[in-house]
Amino acid sequence: MVTEVDMVVQYPTEFLNSLEPSGMPPHDLRLKIGTSIMLLRNLDAPRLCNGSRLCVKTLIPHVIEATIMTGCAKGEDVFIPKIPLVPSDVPFEFTRLQFPVRLAFAMSINKAQGQSLKVIGVNLETPCFSHGQLYVACSRVGTGNNLYIYAPDGKTKNVVYEKVLQ
C-alpha cells in the first residue's frame, strides 16, 4: 500500500507486489510445515533476532507458529505475526503487512556469523569482499568433513587487510 495519497494512482498493485527491496520478504511467500525460515527483523531480542533460523510448525492466516533452531532459545516454540514493513531503498514510500521471514535454505556469510551449522556449502562464484569473510564462512561448521566449497577453477580471492593483523 502506497502511503502518500497522491501517489496511489501512479503505482499499480501488480507493480508494488513485484518489488523485492533488500531486507524485505517476497510478496508471495509460500510456506509448508517443516520449512526452514529466517527472521528478517528483531522481534524479541535476544530470542528472536534478525537472522534467527526457525522451523515452521503451524500456519495460521495471520500467524506462523515456529520452533527456534538457533541461539539461546533453541527448541522454544514462538508465534510470528504479520507486521507492517516499510522499505527504505525505493524512491517512494509504501507499506506491506506481511510476515518478517524468508526461506532459509541459503544465507549470506554475514547472516551466518555467530551460528553453528552441521553442514555448510560455500558458493564462491563471487569472491568474498571484506576482511575475514572467508574465515567466517568456513568456521561455521564443526568439522572440515562437512564443509563444501564451490569455487570456479578451484580458486578464490581471500581479502586480508594486513594492517588489521599488526
135 in the same domain as 89: no
6 by DSSP, 3-state: which? helix
pLDDT(72) > 90: no
88 in the same domain as 25: yes
- Domain span at residue 159 reads 110-165
54 in the same domain as 40: yes
Angle (CA) 122-127-131 rounded to 5° is: 95
Q: Higher model confidence: residue 149 or residue 160?
A: 149
95 in the same domain as 18: yes
Please indicate, yes or no, whether the overall pTM of this predicted structure exceeds 0.85. Answer: no
Of 71, 105, 139, which marks where a domain is finished? Answer: 105
| Average pLDDT over all residues of the chain | 83
137 in the same domain as 62: no
80 in the same domain as 135: no
pLDDT(1) > 70: no
148 in the same domain as 96: no
Q: What is the pLDDT of residue 67?
A: 96
By the 8 A CB rule, do 57 and 65 touch?
yes
Q: What is the pLDDT of residue 65?
A: 96
* Residue 128 pLDDT class (50, 70, 90 cuts): confident
